[in-house]
Amino acid sequence: MSGTDNAGRGWPTGLFIQTDWLQSNLERENLRIIQVGGENFYSRMHIPGAVMVGYQDITGYRDGIPGFRAETALLRKLFGRLGITPESHVVVYDASGGMDAARMVWTLHCMGHTQCYILDGGMGAWYTEKRVCTDHMPQIAPVEYRVDEDLRWDADIELMQRVVAGELEMKVLDTRSEAEYEGQTIRGPRGHIPGARHFEWMDALRTPQDPQLKDDEALREMLAGRGVENPHTDEVVVYCQTAHRAAHTWAVLRHLGYAKVRLYDGSMAEWGISGQPVVAGMVPR
């Protein structure tokens, strides 16, 4: 896995970091550690220095549709309470296979903070490796969050409509299950956004029980099979049902160096309720 300075001299260059690096850098200046979710165990056991954020703190409803990014004003207050400054390097982890952490990292990107990383394997890998845990609650001095929004990481329904109409040339990945993509589900809409290729988010993991990433070359090969090949020129949009699973695929693409990748946070929840076109079957169109 690329992107980690194992000696701990510099900050990581990829979006996913390894447990060895974090263990060696727990006391590092300007490091902030965030656990997303896991309310049932945080008070008894968490990575030293970690503060907890609920998934519901970074997402919200819009017109009754779940999964959207929380309001900017609320996120500014949250990140200020977490003590995040322009100098902060933020490591995020979860116990949900990386989805919660990826959604937090995407949210940080949209709020203008790109110095952030996901702990590969999350709390499961940390605990399995018998690394240091604590029940101590860190005291974080609140700050005024001063970084501006950066919406190049976000896709809305108007952009998706233009992609489907052929007005924008972008690769679209549906990260749901094969059954959802094909339309073989009771819940509608039955099918996928026209032109979208299927890339189930869990395909990036070693196994469902070991939610660490496969090696970079294997990931690139899988993405190439879906027509996503050039990290410098390909523009990519990912979606799922409520932009939870897709956030992980967004993070994988960013980790592999894709510079132009967006997450459609409305995803199929918004697309379907808005009566937009869908295609059933295993072909993009």
Q: Does any domain span residue 284? A: no
The reported pLDDT for the residue numbered 142 is 96
Confidence of residue 139 (pLDDT cuts 50, 70, 90): very high
Question: Which residues make beta-bridge pairs with 60?
Answer: 68
The reported pLDDT for the residue numbered 6 is 38
Q: Any idea what the CATH number is for the domain that residue 24 is in?
A: 3.40.250.10
Residues 36 and 121 in one domain: yes
Q: Does any domain span residue 6? A: no
Average pLDDT taken over every residue of the chain: 94
The reported pLDDT for the residue numbered 8 is 45
- The 10s digit of each residue's pLDDT in 182-199 is 999 888 789 999 999 999
* 112, amino acid identity: G
Question: How many domains does the chain divide into?
Answer: 2
- The 10s digit of each residue's pLDDT in 84-126 is 999 999 999 999 999 999 999 999 999 999 999 999 999 999 9
User: Residue 75: in which H helix or E strand, if any?
Assistant: helix 72-81
264 to each of 137, 172, 186, 201, 267, how far by Cα in Å?
35, 10, 23, 15, 5
The reported pLDDT for the residue numbered 3 is 47
Percentage of the chain with pLDDT > 70?
A: 96
| Residues 236/32/95/45 CA torsion (nearest 10 deg) | 180
What is the value of pTM for the model shown?
Answer: 0.95
User: Where a domain ends, among 93, 128, 163?
Assistant: 128
Question: Which residues make beta-bridge pairs with 70?
Answer: none
Residues 162 and 259 in one domain: yes
Q: Which residues contact 1 (CB under 8 A, 6 or more apart)?
A: 14, 16, 18, 120, 213, 215, 216
- The 10s digit of each residue's pLDDT in 197-241 is 999 999 999 998 999 999 999 999 999 999 999 999 999 999 999
